[in-house]
Amino acid sequence: MRKYIVPIIVIVILAVYLVYKGTSNTASTPTVSTTPSTTDTNTNTQSNATSTDTGSGTPPTHTTTSTPVSTGSTATAGAFKDGSYTSPVVDAFYGSIQLQAIISGGKLTDITFLQFPNSPGHTTEVSSESLPVLKSQAIAKQSASVDTISGATQTSDGFKQALTAALAMAK
């Protein structure tokens, strides 16, 4: 009979703990934080308001900051001269990389691969998976400072070198 008492006590304690824990979670008051962003069209300023509800029954506090917003008429040109810029051929260990950077409106808008590692087998797989990712990163970042892709280190490095050279011509 004694060997049953200890497990029963443990089960009862566990059940009481779970019931207590379940009711204490529903009694807590959540904290709400929002960050809406609005634009005042009369003054061309952007307002970021932060509201925090502490759950204490007091009204939320607001913090507002203003930042000038460009109307477009005085927008500065992009960092590059418009045109197509062809990189030199760069050795990427498994093949050569040569690309053409297309600049439009002062921004990098497209990259065309003129040469890339494409030996049959694994090299083609690596290129077909990594080059589109590198291309989209470069266009998004507007630079050759892209993340190296794991498993495609030499291809990534060759891409960075080729794009760096092409963008240097576009400055």
The pLDDT score that the predictor gives to residue 22 is 67
Position 13 pLDDT exceeds 50: yes
**57, two tokens:** 């029954």
CATH topology of domain 83-169: Sufe protein. Chain: A (3.90.1010)
Average pLDDT over residues 99-115: 96
User: Model pTM greater than 0.75?
Assistant: no
With contact defined as beta carbons under 8 Å apart, do 156 and 130 qualify?
yes
**Domain parsing of the chain, residue ranges:** 32-70, 83-169
> Strands 45-53 and 61-68: what pairing?
antiparallel
Average pLDDT over residues 75-82: 71
Q: How many CA atoms lie within 13 A of 111 on its CB side?
A: 28
Contacts with 140 (C-beta within 8 Å, 6 or more apart), sequence order: none
DSSP label at 57?
S
Listed residue (116, 74, 78) closest to 94, CA to CA: 116
Choice among 52-61, 74-83, 98-107, 120-129 with the minimum mean pLDDT: 52-61
Q: Give the rounded percent of residues in the chain with a pLDDT score beyond 90.
A: 54
Listed residue (171, 36, 46) closest to 107, CA to CA: 171
What does the alpha-carbon distance between residue 135 and residue 146 come to, in Å, rounded to a whole number?
9
What does the alpha-carbon distance between residue 163 and residue 90 come to, in Å, rounded to a whole number?
10
